[in-house]
Amino acid sequence: MKLYYKPGACSLASHIALREVGADFEIEKVDTDNNKTETNQTFTDINAKGYVPALKLKDGTILTEGAAILQFIADRHPNSGLAPEPGAIERTRLHEHLNYVASELHKAFGPLFSSTSSDQDKEAARANVASKLDHIETLLSDGRNHLLGDRFSVADAYLFVVANWANFTGIALDKWSNVAAFVERVAAREKVQEALKAEGLAA
């Protein structure tokens, strides 16, 4: 398997999941601005949508959309416990969290990474991110270590990556103490550190 990624982007969640399950995989960096991969392939030939993550399977099948890739990785490694079994209520909770992170929190950060956003757009985006973080803060305020409780899941990998963007976009994460503690907790995982190092983001 090969994961197409950009350092620190949402693809980092899939990268973490691949390491957590002990998958046999390689990674290839993508320059989405220039539509080229590290080995000089045209990236839109791999993923016509032009964004990461994309996961290439051994038979050449390409999977896209982070939430789908994360569940594929977990389902192919059921003993990893990274996703509850399909059909269980807890699996629907996992969907809820993955969808919230993807469609609410992740998207709220968009203007903060865009070179065409005005200062006003960015201020509005910070306020929007804050309201999305409020929800996560409330969820975590019951003392759970992870979104599904004590168990680390692929939704935690995704939330970790996206919540951590606050630290690079002028949002003081310590205003949300439970979220900040969650990010630290997940960052301390061995496989997360390995993924960060492999992407050149940690020493």
User: Min. distance of Cβ 17 from ligand GSH in angstroms?
Assistant: 13
- Please say which residue, 65 or 121, places its beta carbon nearer to ligand GSH: 65
- Please say which residue, 10 or 192, places its beta carbon nearer to ligand GSH: 10
User: Min. distance of Cβ 103 from ligand GSH in angstroms?
Assistant: 9
Cα angle 53, 58, 62 (rounded to 5 degrees) comes to: 35
- Please say which residue, 13 or 21, places its beta carbon nearer to ligand GSH: 13
- Please say which residue, 103 or 141, places its beta carbon nearer to ligand GSH: 103
Encoding tokens for residue 79? Answer: 């003993």
| 3-state secondary structure labels for all residues of the chain | CEEEECCCCCHHHHHHHHHHCCCCCEEEEEECCCCEECCCCEHHHHCCCCCCCEEECCCCCEEECHHHHHHHHHHHCHHHCCCCCCCCHHHHHHHHHHHHHHHHHHHHHHHHHCCCCCHHHHHHHHHHHHHHHHHHHHHHCCCCCECCECCCCHHHHHHHHHHHHHHHCCCCHHHCHHHHHHHHHHHCCHHHHHHHHHCCCCC
User: Min. distance of Cβ 106 from ligand GSH in angstroms?
Assistant: 7
User: Min. distance of Cβ 33 from ligand GSH in angstroms?
Assistant: 6
Contact between 60 and 131 (Cβ < 8 Å)? no
User: Min. distance of Cβ 9 from ligand GSH in angstroms?
Assistant: 4
User: Min. distance of Cβ 177 from ligand GSH in angstroms?
Assistant: 26
- Please say which residue, 61 or 79, places its beta carbon nearer to ligand GSH: 61
- Please say which residue, 103 or 177, places its beta carbon nearer to ligand GSH: 103
Q: Which residues bind ligand GSH (CB under 6 A)?
A: 6, 9-10, 32-33, 51-53, 65-66, 102
